[in-house]
Amino acid sequence: MEPILLLVHTEPDGTLAKPALEALAAALALQGELTVGLVGAQTEPAANQIAGSGAARFLAVTGEPLAEPRYSTDAAAAEALCRAAGAAIVLAPATSRWSRALPGVAYRLGGRVDTHATSLTVENGAPAVTRWFYRQRMEGVLTRSQRPWLVLLDSGCVAPWSGPAGAAEAEAVAVDTPPTRTSVTGVQAPKTDEQTIRPDAKLLFVAGAGWTKKQADGAVHGPEAETLILGFLRSANASLGGSKSLVDLSGEGEAVLRFMTHLNQIGQTGATPRHPKGLSTCCHGEEPHVVGWRFVNQRRAINLDPNCGWARGKADVLYVADAFEVMRHVNRLLGAAAK
């Protein structure tokens, strides 16, 4: 197996987050000589964190300009590490930071990059990348002859490396970080309990347009829908997805579910998240939506219509029931269990 460089950037406390540890596990499985390239304002805690991983060499580009994600500084650091390591295969977690910087680095090195890889293995003695195409409808396995070959591994595909910490000394790689024209003055983020997209959640809860439709009494029950959905998300710590019909309604400014945005949309023109379980509510389960459930293992749906899409082999269990009633009851049970 050719030499491998694992490129990882550190978190504000200098350690490595889960996507980096997943990429480390994938790199170790290749059984080639592994160099770890660390980037960040602090890199020593990260080197110590994975000292016991069996990596042959640690390289680091460390410095304050690398505290914040920025294309120019990240690309300069990654390029210097790739040149110093001279590795043929460069693996990195598909964080937003690396997804932005590494395609440009591949170009500078005269190499190639593949994004959204779900695995990197050895087939017939050569590295091979697996990824999905056409909105996760087809899976492809590909190899490349160009080197260096940079591969961005999607998170959630490999169990993260875990092992005892130790003491590792990284060789410092010098980089002339380019002058920066942007400075980060702060971060504005929603409060944690309002963050509805939780990639690590065990359950994906999907709301469809039915929540905003007239119900049996002839009225629309928007405020109750909001309370039921948010109540469930908070007590189950679930991630929230939406159908296109529902997020489009929210985008058009209609008085519907105010916390729902296009970022929540699951499907062909939305996201394909990875969760062990999924519960669809008031959503018809049409193919352009369900294609986004490719990586949801156990699927359940609640719909009034026994002939909805979920009933046609798309869900493991379909509850033909009123989702308002079911979720009211589920929330009561969860509330009672929490006491």
Ligand X SMILES: Cc1cc2nc3c(=O)[nH]c(=O)nc-3n(C[C@H](O)[C@H](O)[C@H](O)COP(=O)(O)OP(=O)(O)OC[C@H]3O[C@@H](n4cnc5c(N)ncnc54)[C@H](O)[C@@H]3O)c2cc1C
Q: Catalog residues that contact ligand X under the rule CB under 6 A.
A: 208-210, 213, 215, 243-246, 265-270, 282-284, 286, 288-289, 292, 302-305, 308, 322-324
Question: Min. distance of Cβ 214 from ligand X in angstroms?
Answer: 9
- Closest by Cα among 249, 256, 248, 308 to 281: 308
Contact 34, 56 (CB under 8 A): yes
Contact 59, 83 (CB under 8 A): no
Rank residues 8 and 308 by Cβ distance to ligand X and give the closer one. 308
Question: Min. distance of Cβ 186 from ligand X in angstroms?
Answer: 33
Question: Min. distance of Cβ 268 from ligand X in angstroms?
Answer: 4
Rank residues 17 and 326 by Cβ distance to ligand X and give the closer one. 326
Contact 284, 294 (CB under 8 A): no
Question: Min. distance of Cβ 295 from ligand X in angstroms?
Answer: 15
**Sheet of 317-320: strands edge to edge?**
239-242, 203-207, 275-281, 296-303, 317-320
Provide the terminal-to-terminal Cα distance of the chain, rounded to the nearest Å: 55
Rank residues 63 and 267 by Cβ distance to ligand X and give the closer one. 267
Question: Min. distance of Cβ 266 from ligand X in angstroms?
Answer: 6
Residue 132 pairs in a beta bridge with: 139
Between CA 224 and CA 228, with CA 227 as vertex, the angle to 5 degrees is 85
Rank residues 13 and 287 by Cβ distance to ligand X and give the closer one. 287
Question: Min. distance of Cβ 120 from ligand X in angstroms?
Answer: 28
- The DSSP secondary-structure symbol of 136 reads T
Rank residues 73 and 250 by Cβ distance to ligand X and give the closer one. 250
Rank residues 62 and 264 by Cβ distance to ligand X and give the closer one. 264
Rank residues 46 and 228 by Cβ distance to ligand X and give the closer one. 228
Contact 74, 104 (CB under 8 A): no
Chain-centre distance of CA 156, in angstroms? 7
Question: Min. distance of Cβ 289 from ligand X in angstroms?
Answer: 3
CA–CA separation, 112 vs 108, rounded Å?
A: 10
- Cβ-based neighbour number of residue 123 at 10 Å: 11
